[in-house]
Amino acid sequence: MAETFAHDAHCNTIHDAGPESCPPADRTDEKVVLAYVVSNDVAYSWHRSLMGLANFDTNHHGRLKDAGGFLAIKYGTGGLIEARNQAVQEFLDDCPGADWLFWLDTDMGFGPDTLELLLAAADPVERPIVGGLCFAQRDDEPDGMGGWRTQATPTIYDWITIGDQSGYAVRWDYPMDTVTQCHATGSACVLIHRSVLEKMREAFSSGEIRPAWYDRLPNPSTQQIFSEDLSFCARAGALGFPVFVDTRVKTSHFKHVWVSEEDYVRQRFVQAAVDKPAGSTLAVHVDVEASLETLAANRHVKPDGMLKLDEDLERYRQIIEATRPEVIVETGTRSGASARWFAGQGCDVVTVDINQPADNTHLSRIPHEGRVIDFVVGDAKNPDVAQIVADFVRGRRCMVSLDSDHSGPHVAKEIELYGPLVSAGCYLVVEDGIFGYATRTLRTQHGLGEMVGSPLDAIEKHLEGNPDWSRDVAIERMSPVSHHPAGFWIRNG
């Protein structure tokens, strides 16, 4: 059956929808099937990202679990197009209770909340096709040595006409962090409502001829053949289905590229231009540059796995000796070394981490130097976890040390949950504000390249100027170097 297509007129009106105009993801009864096609190669980033996404879904609405979960198609001689068509066919025939098909190619990396964010932007009628922000790698120019210089290319396309020729053009200057309508996107990370696929099956198949969701179409003005994903969007446009991309939904795409000295120089130039620390408006009472040097040199890394400068441990010794807490609450257990150190200062310890420490996988409580360490496994920003900690602490003089996820929003939530546990005259220590002054390169070296904000943001918002707290500037000035600038706070009362 021959096919022709023309974009529906209303699809040529492109507009953006900011986050506030997107409906909330409260359609908890909607079910999703995650589909992927694979030959033999699967990227590590996809495996790791998929585990995070599946866990996130299980712990929230269970949309994948209730719909049947995953649809995997191995492609061989029939190739990618045949595999995609087969996946759609099985989705429609074998998953009648599923509302959405969610494509995730096996060379992608993505966040655990990717599906939830796309569903928040999608709508069965108004936005039935919504993709994440994905990038292809396009050959740009020969490098003079048999290879090519390549360029990251957003998979957001507009249908344009120049003279007597029309076609899909890359939207290089896409709007950031919003939902934007376009004429086409790729299938690497895209959510498609069932109604789109059913309408296509009805429109583009006849008799014994199988449906052609992804069969490649020719450009009617140039006769060049579209890729399978652009051909899908062309069919969707011909039927009046709009296409959107949510540029808040970030992904990465694993590609092989040629790398030369020129690429290195370009990268370093860009890095120097954009690799700036966030900084802070808080007054500084340590030598920030010297403190950053100790961070870069890993002077805080101890043989037992503890990550604390000797100068900061001396600060802890002095405030513990001065205030005599009976129990110290610590978020961020890691190896358990700092919890043992706190216990060695004559205090019981309650330590919280999303993972059990490697050397205490079967323990929830251990004695240490005459004191007791209680391990609480869970997300420190979870109020239920905080309540467990509060039950351990109740009735005892308490100090708190925050040393888990250093993103600004996470630390702010920890201050909100664990700050009230601090006894009058005792300390709340917010660790690692030094990362607020670190470049992204330095943060990345310590596993914090994607950190959002820093502890300094939370300190400014919740502690600075708060009459319940007083900043101890004297303890900061005790030494020129510290990883916890603006991090020592006394509970008033």
Same domain flag for 104 and 219: yes
Give me the amino acid identity at 213.
W
Same domain flag for 22 and 118: yes
By CB atoms closer than 10 A (0-12, 13-18, 19+), residue 300 is buried
Quote the CA–CA distance of 44 and 79 in Å, as a whole number. 22
In a domain, 100, yes or no: yes
In a domain, 326, yes or no: yes
- Cβ of 110: how many Cβ atoms within 10 Å? 25
How remote is the C-alpha of 176 from its chain's centroid? 16
468-477, long-range: CB < 8 A, 24+ apart: 468/419, 468/492, 468/493, 469/419, 469/428, 472/319, 472/427, 473/285, 475/315, 475/318, 475/319, 476/285, 476/286, 477/285, 477/286
Same domain flag for 300 and 350: yes
User: Tell me, what's the pLDDT at 210?
Assistant: 66
Same domain flag for 224 and 280: no
Quote the CA–CA distance of 252 and 45 in Å, as a whole number. 9
Which DSSP letter does residue 354 get?
S
Same domain flag for 236 and 314: no
In a domain, 187, yes or no: yes
Strand ordering across the sheet containing 156-162: 165-170, 156-162, 184-185
Length of the chain, please?
A: 493
User: Tell me, what's the pLDDT at 12?
Assistant: 38
Q: Give residue 211's domain range.
A: 9-253
In a domain, 2, yes or no: no
User: Tell me, what's the pLDDT at 262?
Assistant: 86
Return phi, psi of residue 381, to 5°: -85, 0
Please count the structural domains in the chain.
2
Same domain flag for 223 and 280: no
In a domain, 267, yes or no: no
User: Tell me, what's the pLDDT at 15?
Assistant: 46
In a domain, 266, yes or no: no
CATH of the domain at 137: 3.90.550.10
CATH of the domain at 467: 3.40.50.150
Q: With left for phi above 0 and alpha for psi between -120 and 50, is residue 138 left, alpha or beta?
A: beta
**Final residue in a domain of this structure, among 221, 253, 285:** 253
Same domain flag for 414 and 454: yes
Same domain flag for 329 and 185: no
Give me the amino acid identity at 265.
V
In a domain, 234, yes or no: yes
User: Tell me, what's the pLDDT at 483?
Assistant: 98
Same domain flag for 331 and 198: no
User: Tell me, what's the pLDDT at 4?
Assistant: 47
Give which of 72, 73, 56 is closest to 64, Cα–Cα. 56
pLDDT tens string for the chain (493 positions)? 345 454 443 343 344 554 444 444 456 678 999 999 988 788 999 999 999 999 999 888 888 876 668 899 988 766 889 999 999 999 999 999 899 999 999 999 999 999 999 999 999 999 999 999 999 998 888 888 988 888 899 999 999 988 888 899 999 999 999 999 999 999 999 999 999 999 999 988 755 556 789 999 999 888 899 999 999 999 999 999 999 999 999 999 998 888 888 888 887 887 777 777 878 899 989 999 999 999 999 999 999 889 999 999 999 999 999 999 999 999 999 889 999 999 999 999 999 999 876 555 445 778 877 899 999 999 999 999 999 999 999 999 999 999 999 999 999 999 999 999 999 999 999 999 999 999 988 998 888 887 889 999 999 999 999 999 999 999 999 999 999 999 999 999 8
SS3 content of the chain, % helix, strand, coil (to 5): 35, 25, 40
User: Tell me, what's the pLDDT at 105?
Assistant: 95
Return phi, psi of residue 285, to 5°: -125, 20
Return phi, psi of residue 331, to 5°: -100, 130
Same domain flag for 222 and 315: no
User: Tell me, what's the pLDDT at 320?
Assistant: 98
How remote is the C-alpha of 145 from its chain's centroid? 37
Task: Please give the torsion angle defined by the CA atoms of residues 177, 179, 183 and 185, in that order, rounded to the nearest 10 degrees.
Answer: 60
Same domain flag for 280 and 248: no
How remote is the C-alpha of 395 from its chain's centroid? 39
Give which of 113, 126, 117, 135 is closest to 177, Cα–Cα. 117
Q: What is the pTM of this model?
A: 0.63
In a domain, 259, yes or no: no
Same domain flag for 300 and 235: no
Supply the DSSP string of 136-181, one letter for each residue: EEEEEEE-SSSSEEEEEEE-EEEEEEETTEEEEEE-SSPPSSSEEE
- E strand or H helix that includes residue 368: strand 365-368
